[in-house]
């Protein structure tokens, strides 16, 4: 990816952003961004951004929260997009037992389909999971998914070793600054498995998240581990290339 070479110091990475919700997304050009989708419409938007901005890697998928409303046809349409050129990742997909328990069975079916497609097309997965971390991991391993990112991980700390040992990743959100559990994740995760993300423009405790805030994620990681920020920045950039397979 040429844009890294043009940036002598900045190696900023936002591994999970809903960029199509921002006005003038080209202003974040100094950050390498994975744009995750929530449904068919936003999958197309992510692909469009990938075509126009060279710092963007588009991801297509259906957010587990959307599975209460999205039709089977729409799921199939998104699956069809995966075979299309330009798709770099599958997500935001996953399982959420905390906020969307009612659709959990359907979530399992759809997630399994996405995991099979990730294997078939050798694509990484960008995951949302809440109160279903082990289940998510089981499906990924069963389907031989080679690259996966647990975004804004707040799950059991004893699963982190397994996540790292199979080569998967977790991304650290700037809100680790005020979320103790997430700071623990930043401290304990193998440095080879850490990425940064914003999840922008999601609003958490009154803070509207934006891609440049990945700088704060770097600070959270560096402080939690007692590492130099510059070193963390380099490691994250290296991990990002590994995650995308570039
Ligand atoms: Zn998200």
Tell me how far apart the alpha carbons of residues 52 and 236 are, in angstroms, rounded to a whole number. Answer: 25
Helix (H, G, I), strand (E, B), or coil: what is residue 128? strand
Q: Quick one: DSSP state of residue 36? A: -
Residue 226 C-alpha to ligand 1 middle, in angstroms? 28
Residue 22 C-alpha to ligand 1 middle, in angstroms? 14
- Residue 4's pLDDT is 46
Residue 92 C-alpha to ligand 1 middle, in angstroms? 6
- Residue 10's pLDDT is 60
What's the pTM value of the predicted model, to 2 decimals? 0.94
pLDDT in tens, 27-52: 999 999 999 999 999 999 999 999 99
Residue 201 C-alpha to ligand 1 middle, in angstroms? 9
Residue 197 C-alpha to ligand 1 middle, in angstroms? 9
Residue 198 C-alpha to ligand 1 middle, in angstroms? 9
Q: Report whether 239 contacts 169 (CB < 8 A).
A: yes
- Residue 82's pLDDT is 97
Residue 37 C-alpha to ligand 1 middle, in angstroms? 8
Residue 74 C-alpha to ligand 1 middle, in angstroms? 19
Residue 127 C-alpha to ligand 1 middle, in angstroms? 9
Tell me how far apart the alpha carbons of residues 7 and 9 are, in angstroms, rounded to a whole number. Answer: 6
Read off the tokens for 103.
């659709």
DSSP E strands, 38-124? 56-60, 89-96
Residue 210 C-alpha to ligand 1 middle, in angstroms? 12
Residue 213 C-alpha to ligand 1 middle, in angstroms? 15
Residue 66 C-alpha to ligand 1 middle, in angstroms? 12
Residue 128 C-alpha to ligand 1 middle, in angstroms? 7
Helix 133-142, helix 104-120: angle, nearest 10 = 40
Q: Give the chain's domains with CATH numbers.
A: 12-244 (3.20.20.140)
Residue 199 C-alpha to ligand 1 middle, in angstroms? 5
CB within 8 Å of 85: residues ≥ 6 apart: none
Along the 246 residues of the chain, how does pLDDT read in single tens digits? 444 444 445 689 999 999 999 999 999 999 999 999 999 999 999 999 999 999 999 999 999 999 999 999 999 999 999 988 899 999 999 999 999 999 999 999 999 999 999 999 999 999 999 999 999 999 999 999 999 999 999 999 999 999 999 999 999 999 999 999 999 999 999 999 999 999 999 999 999 999 999 999 999 999 999 999 999 999 999 999 999 998
């Amino acid at each position: 990816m040429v844009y890294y070479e043009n940036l002598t110091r900045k190696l900023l990475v936002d591994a999970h952003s809903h960029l199509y919700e921002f006005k003038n997304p080209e202003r974040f050009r100094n950050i390498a961004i994975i744009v995750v989708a929530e449904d068919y419409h936003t999958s197309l938007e992510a692909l469009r951004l990938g075509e126009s901005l060279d710092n963007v890697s588009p991801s297509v998928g259906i957010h587990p929260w959307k599975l209460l409303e999205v039709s089977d046809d729409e799921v199939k349409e998104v699956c069809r997009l995966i075979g299309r050129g330009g798709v770099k990742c599958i997500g935001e997909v996953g399982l959420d037992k905390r906020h969307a328990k009612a659709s959990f069975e359907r979530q399992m079916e759809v997630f399994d389909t996405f995991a099979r497609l990730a294997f078939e097309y050798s694509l990484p997965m960008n995951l949302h999971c809440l109160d279903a971390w082990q289940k998510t991991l089981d499906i990924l391993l069963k389907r031989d998914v080679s690259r996966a990112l647990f975004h804004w991980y707040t799950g059991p700390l004893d699963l982190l070793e397994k996540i790292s040992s199979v080569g998967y990743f977790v991304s650290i959100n700037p809100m680790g600054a005020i979320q103790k559990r997430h700071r623990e994740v930043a401290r304990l995760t193998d440095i080879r498995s850490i990425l940064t993300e914003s999840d922008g423009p999601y609003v958490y405790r009154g803070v509207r998240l934006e891609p440049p805030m990945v700088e704060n994620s770097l600070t959270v990681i560096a402080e939690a581990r007692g590492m130099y920020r510059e070193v963390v920045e380099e490691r994250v950039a290296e991990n990002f290339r590994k995650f995308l397979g570039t």
